[in-house]
């Protein structure tokens, strides 16, 4: 019924707006309602500010010229999704047909493939009916564009942004971080920020302008650059006399050099020089003094002093350290308290107890990075990208990752009830905890093809992998290899180097790193055992991250492998671990890694050559794996 109504509406529009042709087919009329091409450009003058953006859109075939554009009119959903997704690189001809459609959309609908992609990216729900005539709001458009450009909004808006635009964020203004992100990346202008109205309809001309501006002037980055604050402006106006005084103070500065040695690399050291003025304390020193003062005040004035035991004081200080690291806003930089550090080290070595899933904290929410292969979490249907909101009915949003994980973990055999948000859906999942032994490498065979599962990059992965290759795979001389890296969250950087060497030739670059003050290039030190194997298929998904992405990108850059599955996690940074005398561990981002062809994947991920969604819960119960089946088919027909 919906489809018939739409055809009638747009048939009238075509008859009124331009000459109607007698041979116009029903399919052409149906197609016209899904594009801007039948109502574009005749009303745009050659001198219009919008002309460059429209020329860019037509040259890239996001739009087709002809008719009236109507730049000041709202953009409906049927126009929005094809335009935005094609500009983001989506090709409807290569889209998967496995993603479900809204209940009122048929497979032969011209919008079908675009809606599948929107559903796959969790922009819309497959359970809700799709209204093609619904106008897209400014907030909906902004949210979609920020996500498609892989920009990472801050947890909260900066004070500089609030000052510049005289904003007072409230609980109702969740869109402010999105707005700051778009402004900092040059997608939108100062005027766009001031005129932004989240619930008003998005105009066609404004959308095209935003897309064009980011394509030509955008900063494709995740971290926002600080905006100029009024304090800095005042400092720039310092007179010559004040400058002279400052120069004299610099001469009296005491210079202290601290040398930090990376214990994993004796050849690399970093010198950090700090300036300490004789008469002026830094803001950091004052903050530390305040911390000591508050601790002293609590110790002397708290009504129940018996509660402030020596153990409690340590815990309070540990919490302060954890909060300081958390405030940095880097989801990969964390402080692991002494009581949890042993568990963390065990997880790196393949020994954990609980539901069996890797997690990370993003914007105060606990994300599933990847369920461990064969774990209780995987058997319960938990997927990468799921957000855990409640544990046994307790709300864990904005709780520390350590406390949240502690609630989820428990003795083997006990149950835990998790409330999960998956895109637009809310689920309740009961998981039976268990003892999880994480195998770093597994090997199975199907139709004489080896399926080599690499599940994490721990200290023994390269050794175990090489043993299976030499003793079990190479003697059978298979026609190719399938490497399963699904849900592999990565691990040690050294293992990424040693595993990369197995597949590459001597002196080929595996990856390079860019630290704060120096760079390293990691190359294969020998010819690898699989250097001549060119028929390699890799299985990947959203849980494929870090070191596993390093391996995939190296093989892809040298045209050594074909990938099947989903886009990977997109982690392009490296952490180092520092363990302290109290038993605590600081995991801090120290570098970014770059692929052999110079690509930085942070926030982007690796797009598969053949896109196939992960097996559903029902498919797993029936032991059906469409990704693996396609890999086997591709390898047999290679």
The residue from 557, 562, 595, 625 that is catalytic is: 557
The answer to whether residue 546 is catalytic is yes
CA 144 to chain centre: 14
Cβ atoms 468, 486 nearer than 8 A? no
Sign of the C-alpha dihedral computed for residues 302, 303, 309 and 311 taken in this order: negative
- 419 CB-near residues (< 8 Å, 6+ apart): 388, 389, 390, 391, 393, 426, 427, 428
How far is 399 from 253, CA to CA, in rounded Å?
42
The answer to whether residue 386 is catalytic is no
The residue from 201, 375, 400, 546 that is catalytic is: 546
CA 494 to chain centre: 24
Cα distance from N-terminal residue to C-terminal residue, the chain: 46
The DSSP secondary-structure symbol of 473 reads I
CA 635 to chain centre: 30
Single out the residue of 189, 143, 180 nearest to residue 162, CA to CA. Answer: 180
Burial of 59 (C-beta count, 10 Å sphere; 0-12/13-18/19+)? exposed
Cα distances from 101 to residues 111, 297, 383, 384, 611, in angstroms, run 10, 61, 20, 21, 17
The answer to whether residue 108 is catalytic is no
Burial of 80 (C-beta count, 10 Å sphere; 0-12/13-18/19+)? buried
The residue from 203, 337, 553, 571 that is catalytic is: 571
For β-strands 334-336 and 585-594, DSSP reports them as antiparallel
Burial of 242 (C-beta count, 10 Å sphere; 0-12/13-18/19+)? exposed
Residues designated catalytic: 546, 557, 571
């Amino acid at each position: 019924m919906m489809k018939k109504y739409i055809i009638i509406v747009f048939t009238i529009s075509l008859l009124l707006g331009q000459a109607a042709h007698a041979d116009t087919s029903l399919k052409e009329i149906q197609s016209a309602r899904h594009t801007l091409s039948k109502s574009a450009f005749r009303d745009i003058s050659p001198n219009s500010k919008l002309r460059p953006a429209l020329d860019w859109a037509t040259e890239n075939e996001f739009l087709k010229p002809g008719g009236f554009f109507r730049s000041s009119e709202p953009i409906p959903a049927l126009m929005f999704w094809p335009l935005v997704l094609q500009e983001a690189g989506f090709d409807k001809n290569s889209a998967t047909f496995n993603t479900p459609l809204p209940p009122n959309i048929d497979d032969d609908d011209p919008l079908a493939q675009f809606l599948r992609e929107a559903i796959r990216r969790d922009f819309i729900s497959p359970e809700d009916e799709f209204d093609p005539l619904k106008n897209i709001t400014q907030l909906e458009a902004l949210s979609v564009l920020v996500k498609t450009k892989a920009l990472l909004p801050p947890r909260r808006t900066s004070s500089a942004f609030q000052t510049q635009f005289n904003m007072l964020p409230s609980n109702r203004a969740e869109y402010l971080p999105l707005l700051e992100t778009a402004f900092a990346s040059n997608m939108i202008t100062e005027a766009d920020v001031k005129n932004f109205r989240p619930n008003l309809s998005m105009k066609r001309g404004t959308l095209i302008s935003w897309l064009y501006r980011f394509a030509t002037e955008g900063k494709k980055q995740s971290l926002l650059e600080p905006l100029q604050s009024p304090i800095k402006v005042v400092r720039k106006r310092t007179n010559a006399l004040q400058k002279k005084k400052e120069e004299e103070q610099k001469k009296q500065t005491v210079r202290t050099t601290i040398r930090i040695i990376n214990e994993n690399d004796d050849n690399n050291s970093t010198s950090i020089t700090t300036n300490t003025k004789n008469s002026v304390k830094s803001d950091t020193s004052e903050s530390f003094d305040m911390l000591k003062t508050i601790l002293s005040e609590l110790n002397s004035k708290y009504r129940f002093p018996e509660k402030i035991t020596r153990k409690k004081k340590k815990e309070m200080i540990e919490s302060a350290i954890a909060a300081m690291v958390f405030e940095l806003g880097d989801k990969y930089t964390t402080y692991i308290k002494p009581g949890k550090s042993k568990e963390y080290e065990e997880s790196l070595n393949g020994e954990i107890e609980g539901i069996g899933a890797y997690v990370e904290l993003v914007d105060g929410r606990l994300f599933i990075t990847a369920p461990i292969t064969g774990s209780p979490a995987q058997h319960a249907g938990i997927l990468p990208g799921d957000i855990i909101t409640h544990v046994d009915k307790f709300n864990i949003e904005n709780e520390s990752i350590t406390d949240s994980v502690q609630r989820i973990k428990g003795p083997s055999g006990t149950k835990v009830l998790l409330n999960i948000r998956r895109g637009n859906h809310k689920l309740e999942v009961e998981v039976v905890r268990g003892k999880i032994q994480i195998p770093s490498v597994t090997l199975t065979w199907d139709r004489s093809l080896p399926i080599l599962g690499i599940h994490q990059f721990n200290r023994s992965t390269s050794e175990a992998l090489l043993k299976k290759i030499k003793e079990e795979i190479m003697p059978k001389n298979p026609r190719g290899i399938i490497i399963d890296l699904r849900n592999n969250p990565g691990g040690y950087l050294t293992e990424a180097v040693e595993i990369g060497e197995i597949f590459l030739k001597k002196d080929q670059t595996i990856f390079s790193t860019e630290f704060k003050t120096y760079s390293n290039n990691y190359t294969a030190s020998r010819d690898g055992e699989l250097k001549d194997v060119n028929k390699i298929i890799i299985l990947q998904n959203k849980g494929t991250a870090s070191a596993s992405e390093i391996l995939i990108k190296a093989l892809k850059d040298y045209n050594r492998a074909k990938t099947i599955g989903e886009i990977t996690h997109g982690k392009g940074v490296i952490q180092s671990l520092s363990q302290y005398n109290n038993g605590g561990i600081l995991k801090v981002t120290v570098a970014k890694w770059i692929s052999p062809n110079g690509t930085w994947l942070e926030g982007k991920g690796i797009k598969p050559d053949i896109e196939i969604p992960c097996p559903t819960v029902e498919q797993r119960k029936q032991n059906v794996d469409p990704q693996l089946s396609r890999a086997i088919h591709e390898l047999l027909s290679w």
